[in-house]
Amino acid sequence: MTVIYAIIIFCLLIFVHELGHFIVAKACGVKVNEFAIGMGPAFFKRQKGETTYSLRAFPIGGFCAMEGEDQDSDDERAFNNKPAWQRALVLIAGSFMNLLTAVILLMIIAFWIGQPTTTVDKVVEQSPAYEAGLLQGDEITAVDGREVDEWNDIITYVGESEKDTAEITVLRNGMEMTLVSDLEFDKQANRNKIGITAASEHNPGYAAVAGVKNTWNMTVMMYDIIKQLFTGDVSVKELSGPVGIVYAVNDSAKAGVIYVVYLAALLSLNLAIMNMLPLPALDGGRLLFLIIRKITGKRVTDEMEGKVHFIGIMLLLLLMVYVTWNDIIKFIVPIFS
C-alpha cells in the first residue's frame, strides 16, 4: 500500500502540474508536441491531433513538450514566437495548479476534521469536568465569568488559570447554569485541563477559509526553510528525495488516510514553490530568462537559454542522486545493520 500511495501521489501531483502548462499552452495557441507523465521509456503512447500523449516507466517526473520551448523554431505557433505575457502565463500555470491543489486538499482536511464549537462532545470519566457534572451537549458560554466565543477561548481561559478551580457557565436544555470544576495540570501540554473535548461542525465556509490560511502558513514555513538552506542553518543532508518521500508516505499511511492527504498537500505546495525558484531548468528560471530577454532584446538567443537550462537539468539530476543516496543511508542501510 505504501508503494501504491506513493505512486498515486507522485502521478497526481505531476499530472496536475503538467496539466496546468498544457491547458494554458493550448489556450494561448502554443503547439504541444507531447504530454507525458513519468520519465524514461514510454510504455503507452497515443496520438491525438498534433499532440502525443504518453505514460513512461518511472513516475518521478513528466513534461509538456512545446514546440520552440528549448530551441529556435520558425513555426508561428511555437512557444518562442508567442508574446512574453503568454509565455509567462504558460510557465506560471504549472506551479499555480499545484498551489491550487494544495489549497483544495487542505480545505478537504479542514472540512473532514470540522470546526470545533463551544459545545461539549465528550466528558472523560473521573475527570474534573465529570466530577463537576458537565454533560455531553452542554454549550459553554463563559469560564470564570469571561465570555467564550470559540473553543480556543475555553482552552486559553482554563489552561492559563492560576486558581485551583474554574467556574464553567453552560447552557443546558435552554437553561443557564454555572458548575465549579477542579483543574488538572497536564505536564506534557504545560497547561490546565478539565477533561472535555469539543463537538465539531462541518462548515464549507470555514473549510475554505482554513484551507487558504493553512496554505499560507505552510508557504511561509517552506520559504523559511529555503532561507535556512542558503544560510547554512539547515544542512542539504536534511533534504529528501523519492526514497524519503516513500518513507514519509509509509509513516503517514500508518497514522491514517487524512495524514496521507496532508502529505500530498505539503508535497504539492513544495512542488509549486520549488518550481518557481529562479534557477536554470525550473519554471522560475525560465521566467527569469523571459524577463532578462524582454529587457535585453535578442542578446540572449533561444539556443543560449536552452544550453543554460540543460546544464541546470544536469545539476538537478546530480542533486537528485546526492539526495537519494542520503535517503538510502538514512532509511535503508539501518534496516540491514
Q: Kindly give, in sequence order, each residue whose CB lies less than 8 Å from that of residue 124, ignoring residues fewer than 6 positions away.
A: 130, 195, 196
Q: Which residue has the cell 513555426?
A: 75
* 18 assigned to active site: yes
User: To which residue does cell 529528501 refer?
Assistant: 240
Tell me the β-bridge partners of 83: none
**Strands (DSSP E) found in the chain:** 32-48, 51-66, 115-123, 139-143, 146-147, 165-172, 175-182, 184-186, 191-193, 196-201
Q: How far apart (Å, rounded) are the C-alpha atoms in residues 240 and 257?
A: 22
* Residue of 246, 243, 270, 255 lying closest to 326 (CA atoms): 243
Taking 3-state DSSP, the helix, strand and coil percentages for the chain, each rounded to the nearest 5, stand at 55, 25, 20
Active-site choice (18, 67, 69, 305): 18
What are the phi and psi torsion angles at 78 (to 5°)? -70, 150
Crossing angle between the packed helical segments 283-296 and 302-327, to the nearest 10 degrees: 160
DSSP 164: S
Joined grid coordinates for residue 283: 519554471
Q: Which three cell numbers stand for residue 71?
A: 530551441
- What's the longest Cα–Cα distance across the chain? 82
Report the C-alpha gap between 104 and 15 in whole angstroms. 16
**Who contacts 191 (Cβ-Cβ below 8 Å, separation ≥6)?**
155, 158, 159, 160, 185
Active site residues: 18
